[in-house]
Amino acid sequence: MALVTGIEIDDRHLKVIQGEKEEAGVKINKFFLLNFSLLSQDSAQIVSSLKKLNLSLRRVVLFIPRTKFSVHYVSFPTQNPAELNEMAKFRAKRQLLYTKEEIMHGFRAIGRDGTGTKTMLLVVRETVVQNYLKVFNEARINASIVTLNALGLANWFGLIFPRQEKDICLIDLDNYSTLVSILNKGKLVFSREVNKGWEQFKSEELHLGEIASEIQYTLSAYEKEEFGPKIEEFLVTGAVKGGEKLAKTLQETLGREVKFLSSLEKFSLEKAAGEEISPYAEGYSLAKVLGCFAEDEEFEINLIPKVEKKPRVSKISLPALSPLGRKFLIYLWFFSSLGFIFFWEAYRQRTYLKQLRTQFKLVSKRIEVLEDKQKIINLILTHLRRPVSFLKVFKELSVKLPPRTFIQRLDFRASRKEMKISGMAGSSLEITQLMENLQNSPLFKNVNQKYVRAGKEGYTFQIDIEIK
C-alpha cells in the first residue's frame, strides 16, 4: 500500500497519522495532535500547523464526527446497486425533513430480506463538511476519502481481526467523546456517539457512570430497531487510562464480560517523527484514525464524489469575425440552444417518470405494511374490549404508583399475559418503591426493570410485567 495520511477532526482536536501498511505491521512516519477551542476561531492556527508538517498527500482519508450525521435505517425494495443508489438519493433529498440547505448522503447495505435490501442511510448537511474541507484546502490538503469516524473504527477492528465472525459491540473512549458501534462480522451496522469522554470523568468518577448509562441506552435503542444481529461480545478501546475503568464499570452494569484492548496493542508502530504516539494514547483514542490503513473497498461510505469542485473553464479568445460570420455563429448558437432545451426536457421527463415509478413501488410497499399494522391494531382492540383483564389490571396498576410517579406509555397484551410500562419518576427511590409494590401485587409476577435513565427533569424507566 502507498503512503497513507489519516486525519480525524472534531470540535475540540485534530489528529494526523501518516504511514504505510507493510507485512510486518504499520510503519508510522508522522504523528501530530492539536487541541483547539473552536474551529472557526482557530482555523488559522490549524492551517499553519498542517503546513509545517510537510505531509506527503498521495492518499488522504478524512474522518468527521458521527454526531454530525443523521442516520436512518431503511428497507428498499431492490437489490440492484444502481437502483439502491437512486432510491437512497431520493429518500435523502426528498423525504427527510431538512432546511433548504443542500444535504449530502451516503449509504451501505447491512442485510437482505425477502423484498429487498436493508440499508443504513447517512445524511449530513453540506455546510458541515465544507467547513472542515475549507480548513484543509487552505493548507493545500485535498482529501480523497471523506467519511464518518465510526467507519474508521470498524476498519481499525478489521485490521486487527481480519476474519471476525462474531457480532461485536465496539466502544471507543476518546478524550471528549465515546463512540459505540455494532459490527456484524466486522461490518458496521449501527453507531452512536456520546459527548462524554475521558476528560469528563478522569477527575470525577460520577461521570463514568453517566457514560455507562448512555452506552446502555444506546444498546436498548439498537435492540428496538430489530434489524441487526444479537451482540455476542463487548470490547472497549481508546484512552488507556480510562478504558480499563470503563470496561470494568460496563461489565458490572451489563452483567456481561467486557474486554479492553488498546488501540495500539496489535499495531507494530515505529517511533513517529516529531511526536511520540504512546503518551497520547493514554488520554486519547487513536483507533478511528488508524482505520485509514484499510483498503479502498472498505470505505463503502465516501462523501468526496459529492463535494468535488467543478473544473475551471478556461477562457477562449476568438479571432475577429466578419459580420456574416458573427451572424452565422448567432444562428448556430440559437438553434443549438433550442435543440438542447428540447432534449433536456425529454430527459427530465423520462427521469421524473422513472422516479415516479420508484415512488409508486415504495408507496405500494408502505400500504402493505400499514395493512399489516391495521390487523395488529384490530387484534389489540379486540383484546382491550374485553373488560375482564384490562380494567382490572389498570386499576391495580394505578393503586401501586407512588405519588410523584406517572406512566407515559402502557403496552398491554392480554393474549400473552404481558404488559410493558414506561414513564417518569422524581427519584430512583420512587422507582424502587414502584418495583416493590408491583412484586407484592396478587395480579403480577416476574416484574423486570428494563432500564432506568437519569435526565434533567427526573428519571425515566421501563418495566416488563407478566400477569397471573
**Strand spans (E) along 414-443:** 418-425
pLDDT of residue 350: 87
Q: pLDDT tens digits, residue range 42-72?
A: 889 899 988 888 887 788 999 999 999 888 8
pLDDT-based confidence at residue 206 (cuts at 50, 70, 90) = confident
- Of 451, 462, 445, 457, the C-alpha closest to 410 is 462
Q: Position of cell 451489563?
A: 254
Q: Position of cell 464526527?
A: 65
In this predicted structure, the answer to whether residue 85 has a pLDDT above a threshold of 50 is: yes
- Residue 241 phi, psi dihedral angles, 5° rounding: -65, -35
What is the distance between the alpha carbons of residues 105 and 96, in angstroms, rounded to a whole number? Answer: 11
Mean pLDDT over each residue of the chain, to the nearest integer: 84
- Residue 245 phi, psi dihedral angles, 5° rounding: -65, -40
pLDDT of residue 102: 77
- Of 76, 182, 71, the C-alpha closest to 121 is 71
Q: pLDDT tens digits, residue range 235-278?
A: 999 998 889 999 999 999 889 999 999 888 777 666 554 567 77
Q: pLDDT tens digits, residue range 329-367?
A: 888 888 888 888 888 888 888 888 888 888 888 888 888
What is the distance between the alpha carbons of residues 192 and 214, in angstroms, rounded to a whole number? Answer: 10
Which domains does the chain carry? 4-306 (3.30.420.380), 389-467 (3.30.1360.100)
In this predicted structure, the answer to whether residue 182 has a pLDDT above a threshold of 70 is: yes
Q: Which residue has the higher pLDDT, 367 or 227?
A: 367
How many CA atoms within 13 Å lie on the side-chain side of 299? 24
pLDDT-based confidence at residue 227 (cuts at 50, 70, 90) = low
pLDDT of residue 464: 93
- Residue 171 phi, psi dihedral angles, 5° rounding: -115, 120
Question: In the chain, what percentage of residues exceed pLDDT 90?
Answer: 23
